Chain A
């Protein structure tokens, strides 16, 4: 992971802590105590994370371990592009459900995502679509008796 990405993430989390403190200050005393303490704690530790690299004595606190997860991180342009595609798929799924409701959204998403992320054959796609519809319809309309339409278009 690049240093810039690391610093940007820490800054974002520091901003989250500051926002928590600022917003909490508008609440009654009983409701703001813990969010203020936690928000201030987040600001303090995030600030420490930012400055500790430059201070010899504090470096062990921010020293990265060789943890197992490090091997999982995407490397290279190709893997990052694939991660981007997966994130786009998540956004696409949300958009489809928002527009057409959960049953339509899931049924439409499965074949589109399978086609976009891989190269399945037409029979596989048809079966996957049918299964997605059966599960979504069965759970939400059959089992939970929810109305079929539910999206912005419905």
Chain B
């Protein structure tokens, strides 16, 4: 309770509120730029946390993170162009509503559902923190080691184009994390004698390169202006239907609650993306609807359900991040980097000595969800124009911002070389179906894997792998890694049986 009050105090501080508002504004603007996505936004914001105190810095990043999802919803609804890939579900009914002249109504419904969903996710984080505080005492270094590997396997496998490519992505990240001083022995490794690499490749440089610079190369390669259709969308957003949409969302509170819970719990499972949460929520709403055939033709509940789930999953994905230091999503992998930059160690400490930080995160998610929806609605038509920015302008500017941000970190040319190389490599890895999220996750988890393996061997010897909880986590990892393989094998057998039938 003391920590909760302390977190409220932090949230109410003027500098925190200012940074949250700046973050919300940045998130909304970047969110409407399709293709930039949450990970690139987080990467670009990461350097701006330097020099800020912990809570204003967290406010800035959380504000942007919450807002960019609603920013993405604006373009999904108005231009049929989801800001992030997962928001494609919002286009199913959002864009048909716009074409029918009900874009403002869809935006109102989306904003309200998104804000309420964010509250559900934040509530789950607040409720889960004390519960996990009790569980965390059972988790020892061997279990943390197993969980770290589970996180790498899950995110890698889910975000790459195949099981093996997912695993390779995570392993490449782990290998890259070994550059620099060994945390156990102090021996410099894989530096090639370069003094500037003794502190490692740097989470900021790697993140900016793999996400921001690689994304710029992608955007420019595609070459199209970002949003191609807009006149009907912009016109539809200017109506007074926003309040009708808000009323729609409030009338469908059960859908909002279900979507919020689906999103929050899906977010807790490492590797389960927002798309899964949104699809589950959409499917559930469709299943409950009196006339499911209306879904896909501009049904407002088809906007409300996925939007509630999308924002709620963020609170959910923070649960494993703060409890075990295991990211619940790709974005959380970058958040772990942000926590480390701010001197916060994700994991058990966030449920004990740093519980106020965890509560602050939850409260900030709740607050920024509401603020983002209000500001987003008020400025939707103006902000949506950012989607017309030509990539030829956007790409050079954001590349320069990425380099500026990376240089702020270490002021060495080596860092910039890492950004440039990681950018090109990240572009190529994506082209060939590997996962940059898997690479960054392996990179972030590398030191943890090494630390917990060392502690496990010291305390339990090689027998630590036979601990029941370690075996259980290993079993879950195997299911995640081999799940797609088993499902495909089953489908193949079923198809063969079907063919063999006379």
Contacts and interface: CB of A to CB of B under 8 A. Distances in A.
Interface of A: 1, 5-6, 9-10, 13, 16-17, 20, 23-24, 27-28, 30-31, 33-35, 38-39, 41-42, 45-46, 48-49, 52, 60-65, 67-70, 72-74, 78-80, 82-83, 85-87, 89-91, 93-94, 97-98, 102, 105-106, 109-110, 113-114, 117-120, 128, 132, 135-136, 139-140, 144, 146, 150
A61 B221 contact: no
Given A72-B222, A106-B403, A52 B164 contact: yes
Interface in B131-168: 161-165, 167-168
A34 B407 CA distance: 30
Contacts of B182: 27, 30-31
A60 B485 CA distance: 5
Contact of A79 (B172, B222, B424, B433): B222
Interface stretch (B303-311, B351-359, B392-400): B392-400
B397 A90 contact: no
A35 B420 CA distance: 25
A136 B449 CA distance: 38
A69 B390 contact: no
B389 to A, nearest CB: 11
A45 B167 contact: yes
Given A85-B220, A146-B411, A93 B400 contact: yes
B400 A109 contact: yes
Contact of A13 (B172, B184, B403, B450): B172
B9 interface: no
Given A60-B488, A89-B396, A41 B171 contact: yes
A63 B488 contact: yes
Given A13-B172, A98-B413, A110-B397, A27 B430 contact: no
Contacts of B427: 83, 87
A74 B392 CA distance: 16
Interface in B399-425: 399-400, 403-404, 407-408, 411, 413, 416-417, 420, 423-424
Given A45-B171, A74-B221, A74-B222, 12 more contacts: A9-B432, A27-B189, A35-B190, A42-B172, A64-B162, A67-B433, A83-B218, A89-B395, A89-B399, A90-B420, A90-B423, A118-B392
B420 A45 contact: no
7 pairs of A and B residues whose beta carbons are closest in the complex: A118-B392, A113-B396, A83-B221, A60-B488, A86-B220, A42-B171, A68-B85
B432 A38 contact: no
A94 B417 CA distance: 7
Contacts of B430: 69, 72-73
A4 to B, nearest CB: 11
A113 B399 contact: yes
Contact of A20 (B178, B275, B396): B178
A22 to B, nearest CB: 11
A69 B404 contact: no
Given A117-B392, A136-B404, A31 B163 contact: no
B1 interface: no
A1 B433 contact: yes
A49 B168 contact: yes
A98 B220 CA distance: 24
Contacts of A17: 171, 175
Contact of B434 (A9, A61, A62): A9
Contact of B432 (A6, A45, A132): A6
B416 A94 contact: yes
B449 to A, nearest CB: 7
Nearest to B413: A98
Contacts of B189: 23-24, 27, 31, 35
Contacts of B434: 9
B191 to A, nearest CB: 10
Given A34-B178, A90-B420, A117-B220, A16 B172 contact: yes
Given A17-B175, A61-B162, A62-B163, A82 B220 contact: yes
A60 B168 contact: no
Contacts of B217: 83, 86-87, 90
A48 B485 CA distance: 14
B89 to A, nearest CB: 12
23 contacts: A5-B432, A9-B429, A16-B172, A23-B189, A28-B185, A31-B185, A38-B171, A38-B175, A45-B164, A49-B164, A61-B163, A63-B162, A69-B85, A69-B430, A69-B433, A72-B218, A82-B220, A86-B217, A89-B396, A97-B403, A102-B403, A106-B400, A114-B396
